[in-house]
Amino acid sequence: MEPVEEKEEKEEVSELKRKLEEDDLNAEQKISLLKSSLNKVLNSAAVQTKSAALTRVKSQLYHSGVLSHCVLALSLHPRMLRGNWSAAAALAQLTSSCCVGVDPGRHSEAFHRLFLPSVMDGLLSLAGQLTRRSESASLLRKVMDSVSWLLSAHTQLTTQVLSSAHYEQIQMCDDVAASLLCVQLWIQACAASREFLSGLSDDSVLLLLNEAVGQLALSSDSAVGGASIRLIVLMANQLELRLQPLLLSFRGLDSLLDKDWRGRGFDQDVDQLIALIQSGKGVMSQSQVSTKHVQAACVIQAAWRSYQTRRRVKGLNRAVTALQRRYRALRRQQQQQKEAQLWEEELKYQVCVRRQQARRHFHLKQRRLLQLLPADQVQPYLQECERRAAVVIQSCWRGFRERRRYDHQLRRTLRRTHTQQQAARTLQRAVLRFLQKRRAAKAPPITPFWIGQKGLTDSRRAELKQQVEEYIAVHPSSRVSADECERLHEEVQLLLLTELQRGAQRRREEQRVEALLAHTHTQMELLRDAPPLSAVTATDADSFLSPSGPIAVRARDVHNATLQASRLPWWRTLGGVDTGDMFGPAHLQELEAELGGLYVGGSANRWTD
């Protein structure tokens, strides 16, 4: 390629990146821009004579960050796509094509560990959204082909696909086409390269085999079953002896194939798979048994870790929300503390200013007083002021000195009292211990009660036995017999059943209340959005009819009364005249005949039921 053409490609990629970084583009416009620009750049590079042109263009797209924008567009929420699913599927196909054959350079580790998993997650997320739309079967096939194309070039993504929550969502879909696409995905990946399966670990192969066997056990469609059997046969042809121990872990697979999948049009593949399973049966060596146990443990661990990972990912939103809430609370607290500190400083400043102003006013007042005094009285007045100031200073100092002396004396007194109390306690403790020892030494020794007893007589033995029986009768044993345990168990079961029935009844009552509230809210919204009487039609009037006869009769009476009151002369409405007697059956029939029954929601015989 000429340097001019390479320069043009770089300019096109830079221009595309600049347009994507603009803030005035929405998600739909970005997807359309990425689709058209990537298609144009890849087509212009594909027609070049040198094969390295396409690789260079893909590398420029990766290093410039354009492919990162593609991943973000594929991971958007369905509301932001606004139904532009065909453009999103085309963008997924272009992104998968750009990720195959790219040269990441010195960013190889980040490309394989971070970027490629994000691309695969975006593709699977888009496929999961398309499974919920019945009219997007062709678009789902296009996205799954993109996943297969990316897997054939990067086999290390297989484990991520098999443990992905989006892929599990696609598998759990009831659509047969989605299940068939999942199986065909792995058939295409295995058929594209024989090194695909050989590069997988035993855990990944077992997960893939488990998916195929699961489709055979759950699905009854011939296309899905035939594709699953072809996938297992293809894996057996490529892995050979490596697959036989894994197939033996699925007990009853040969009988399942013989009973459910014969006569569907692919009996040759069924016979080949049954022969493969039966050829591997027999006595396994101890190493094979241990290998089987290790593989089973690995599968259990993988399932448990994937479950933990999915639960942890689901909890990330709550963790981020809690972190943001705590950060905002801390920032609000810091701001409040800062404002309080500013208010305190402002208060101190105002106090200082007001003190200075008061001192200034005092000196000004004193100077004016000195100006009013005669000259011979100025010096005596100043001496009197100095004397008073000296008295105030001396009184403050003496009060401070006396308070300090009193505090010191009080602390010494308290310390002396505490020392005396501790000494008294020590002396009392020592004296009490000494007296206790003396009393114990002077007390006569206690003779054991069994000394001098030569044996029990018959009368004494009968008396003791009677006392023991009376004690047992008064104090029964805390142990319960087996019959009593069964009776208590039955009572507990009955109480538990009663509580469960009460809980079910409460839940039904709550559901009924919720339904009534929802119905009430709906009726309120209909009344709020009702058209004016001048524009109302018969259809609109029918929508406000109540299925309850008493409610409809009451509403009609109130409406008739309101209309009759609006037709009264002005002098009849003065003083709050009771118009209840005026709206009798005769007046209601006249209004009914005059307005044709439209304003009351129908004729009277309509509500007789």
pLDDT in tens, 369-379: 888 888 888 88
Q: What is the pLDDT at residue 283?
A: 41
Read off the pLDDT of each residue in 577-602 and give the average, rounded to a whole number: 49
Q: What is the pLDDT at residue 399?
A: 93
Q: What is the pLDDT at residue 601?
A: 39
Q: Is the pLDDT of residue 267 over 90?
A: no
Read off the pLDDT of each residue in 360-377 and give the average, rounded to a whole number: 85
- Rounded Cα distance, 1 and 8, in Å: 11
**Rounded to the nearest 10 degrees, what angle do helices 85-99 and 137-153 cross at?**
10
Q: Which two tokens stand for residue 542?
A: 């029918």
CB 50 within 8 A of CB 1: yes
Q: What is the pLDDT at residue 606?
A: 39
Read off the pLDDT of each residue in 12-38 and give the average, rounded to a whole number: 70
Q: Amino acid identity of 439?
A: R
Read off the pLDDT of each residue in 387-411 and give the average, rounded to a whole number: 94
3-state secondary structure of 226: helix
pLDDT tens-digit readout, 317-348: 788 888 888 999 999 999 999 999 999 999 99
Its pTM surpasses 0.75: no
Q: Is the pLDDT of residue 602 over 60?
A: no
CB 564 within 8 A of CB 583: yes
Q: What is the pLDDT at residue 349?
A: 93
CB 233 within 8 A of CB 265: no
- Rounded Cα distance, 499 and 121, in Å: 46
Read off the pLDDT of each residue in 492-498 and give the average, rounded to a whole number: 90
CB 18 within 8 A of CB 31: no
Q: What is the pLDDT at residue 1?
A: 42
**DSSP per-residue string spanning 381-447:** HHHHHHHHHHHHHHHHHHHHHHHHHHHHHHHHHHHHHHHHHHHHHHHHHHHHHHHHHHHHHHSPPPP
Q: Which of 535, 537, 598 is nearest to 563 (CA)?
A: 598
Least confident of 258-272, 285-299, 506-520, 574-588: 574-588
Q: What is the pLDDT at residue 429?
A: 94
Read off the pLDDT of each residue in 48-68 and give the average, rounded to a whole number: 71
Q: For the chain, what is the mean pLDDT?
A: 77
Read off the pLDDT of each residue in 469-478 and give the average, rounded to a whole number: 80
Most confidently modeled range among 169-178, 414-423, 519-528: 414-423
pLDDT tens-digit readout, 131-188: 777 656 777 777 777 777 777 777 777 777 777 777 777 767 767 777 777 777 777 7
CA count, 13 A, side-chain hemisphere, 530: 19
pLDDT tens-digit readout, 197-255: 777 777 777 777 777 777 777 777 777 777 877 877 777 777 777 777 777 777 777 77
Q: Read off the pLDDT band of 40 (50, 70, 90).
A: confident
| Domain map (residue ranges) of the chain | 377-438, 490-529, 541-568+579-607
Q: Which residues of 175-209 are buried (b: 16+ CB within 10 A; e: fewer)?
A: eebbbbbbbbbbbbbbeeeeebbeebebebbbbbb
Read off the pLDDT of each residue in 341-367 and give the average, rounded to a whole number: 91
Q: Read off the pLDDT band of 512 (50, 70, 90).
A: confident
Q: Is the pLDDT of residue 284 over 70?
A: no
Q: What is the pLDDT at residue 23?
A: 57
- Rounded Cα distance, 35 and 24, in Å: 18
Q: What is the pLDDT at residue 605?
A: 39
Q: Read off the pLDDT band of 455 (50, 70, 90).
A: low
Q: Read off the pLDDT band of 569 (50, 70, 90).
A: confident
Least confident of 98-107, 461-470, 581-590: 581-590
Q: What is the pLDDT at residue 350?
A: 93
User: How far lies 293's CA from each of 194, 202, 232, 249, in Å?
Assistant: 28, 13, 22, 10
Most confidently modeled range among 109-118, 194-203, 353-362: 353-362
Q: Is the pLDDT of residue 560 over 50?
A: yes
Q: Is the pLDDT of residue 413 over 80?
A: yes
Q: What is the pLDDT at residue 277?
A: 75
